[in-house]
Amino acid sequence: MPSAQQHTIAERFWERNRKRIISLFITINLVTTVLWLVQGAVPYPVRRLTGYYVFFTGLWQRWPPFAPNPPTTSTALRGQFQYKDGSRSAWDFPQVRGMNVFEALVETRTRDWQLNVTSDSQLWTDTGLWLVTWHADKSKPVYRVSIVRRSMSIPPPGPTDFQPRIPLQAFTDEAEFYGLRL
């Protein structure tokens, strides 16, 4: 247990340096975020360092909806299971559409992860095994799991820039991009 003298020293240190420490924290976060957002203008070693920091602290951001060419398709993933008895089932990854603000904040990282999974083949086997472990019917042995990418076109904004909500059932294209036989 710290002595009264040590506690007093810590309190005095905090009182003397509180504004400096808080300012340093804000400055580091601000500079790192700016360097992360202008990646093309900074050298690779700086991008690598800022990348570690923004991923560790959760400051990572994606801005494609505001890019000069925003995405024109909406993509979602589905895990499909084929069991040894011939039956099938499916589990849909969470979608931000249809959620309230708080649910959407929690699921935003899951959505970003889904977008990364489709383009990084090193994650496919682990994702398939994760699907079997957490979302397959435990009472039946799984013969095969597949990851399916579902997509639909996003219509361009109308004259009033109002976009009606697109129902979750509106996915028009489905394609299996990974299958794992167990």
> Which residues make Cβ contacts (< 8 Å) with residue 91, sequence separation at least 6?
78, 79, 81, 131, 135, 136
Give the domain ranges of the chain.
4-57, 66-181
* Residue carrying structure tokens 């976009």: 163
Q: In whole angstroms, what is the distance from residue 140 CA to residue 124 CA?
A: 22
pLDDT in tens, 32-62: 888 877 766 778 888 788 888 888 887 776 6
pLDDT band of residue 106 (cuts 50, 70, 90) is confident
- Bigger pLDDT: 101 or 136? 136
| The model's pTM | 0.60
Residue 93 half-sphere exposure, CB side, CA atoms within 13 Å? 25
The pLDDT assigned to 126 comes to: 92
> Which residues make Cβ contacts (< 8 Å) with residue 87, sequence separation at least 6?
140
Look at 14-18, 68-72, 122-126, 174-178 and tell me which has the smallest mean pLDDT.
68-72
Cβ atoms within 10 Å of 72's Cβ, excluding its own: 9
Pure H helices in the chain: 4-37, 44-57, 101-119, 124-135
- Bigger pLDDT: 23 or 158? 23
- pLDDT, mean over the chain: 82
